[in-house]
Amino acid sequence: MIDRMQRLLGFNRPVERALVEAGRTEEPSAEAFKRTASALGIGGLAGTSFLPLAAASGKSTLSTWLLISGVSLGGAVGAAAMFYESSEPAPPATLQAHAPGAARRQTPAIPRASNAASDVASPAEGRAAQEAPAREAIVSRTATPRVNARQETAASQASSLGGEVRALDAARRALMAGGGANVLQRLRDYERAFPSGSLTQEARLLEVEALALLGRSAQARRLATSLLVRNPESAHRKRLESLLETL
């Protein structure tokens, strides 16, 4: 996001910025992706990996995905995610400052055979059908009037969310590289590190996609259905329904 903004700020005129931004926001439809995948004979697998935004550049930050795609996690979370981003080291502003190879993309890994990771349990497995009743971040109710205390709390929450974003971003990169088993492992790490995380819905969505990538369609279908039932108003509803159609 910061990089995106810095690039836009390189244009002095609002018109220039608006034009470039318009180019950035044009996207192919999921239907076009599916049709082309089908024509190539890879519809079943590739259809699970069409993710909104940022994938093409190889800089798929989950935070960008969340903020740009309008996922409604609530203003506080969005603000915290922006705080996290702003706390990252700013990328160099000039061309000369780009160190060669510093941002080199990883070579896409070839997805492993569908059964290769069948021994990796889904993070959702072993869990009872019920989900923890409330996963909202615990907010202190002993807030004092002191501004500093509130700032510290906000900073702490942002730091925690930053960790969540990084963890899920790693999982998403693994998914983009076709490593379904690796995604599941990263999601388990995420759950251990953030048992009451703010981005658990995003984690579940990634889990569905990873299971589908691994060919564990029945599990993916069960999990997706369960998520839709539990969160009928989820911001990910369309994506989940779209995934279910491919399973």
Which positions touch other proteins (CB under 8 A)? 3-4, 7, 10-16, 18-28, 32-33, 35-42, 45-46, 49-50, 54-59, 95-96, 98-105, 107-113, 176-178
CA 236 – CA 242 distance, rounded (Å): 10
Minimal distance, residue 54 CB to other proteins, in Å: 8
226/242 with CB nearer other proteins: 242
Three-state SS string over the chain comes to CHHHHHHHHCCCCHHHHHHHHHHHHCCCCHHHHHHHHHHHCCHHHHCCCCCCCCCCCCCCCHHHHHHHCCCCCCHHHHHHHHHHHHHCCCCCCCHHHCCCCCCCCCCCCCCCCCCCCCCCCCCCCCCCCCCCCCCCCCCCCCCCCCHHHHHHHHHHHHHHHHHHHHHHHHHHHHHHCCCHHHHHHHHHHHHHHCCCCCCHHHHHHHHHHHHHHCCCHHHHHHHHHHHHHHCCCCCCHHHHHHHHHHC
Minimal distance, residue 231 CB to other proteins, in Å: 26
Q: Which two tokens stand for residue 178?
A: 């076709």
Minimal distance, residue 27 CB to other proteins, in Å: 7
Minimal distance, residue 184 CB to other proteins, in Å: 18
7/166 with CB nearer other proteins: 7
Query: Which residues are CB-neighbours of 155 under 8 A, at least 6 positions away?
Result: 83
Minimal distance, residue 114 CB to other proteins, in Å: 9
Minimal distance, residue 173 CB to other proteins, in Å: 10
63/200 with CB nearer other proteins: 63
22/138 with CB nearer other proteins: 22
Residue 72 neighbours by CB distance under 10 Å: 12
4/236 with CB nearer other proteins: 4
42/218 with CB nearer other proteins: 42
Minimal distance, residue 1 CB to other proteins, in Å: 11
90/109 with CB nearer other proteins: 109
Instruction: Find out whether 241 and 233 touch, Cβ atoms under 8 Å.
Output: no
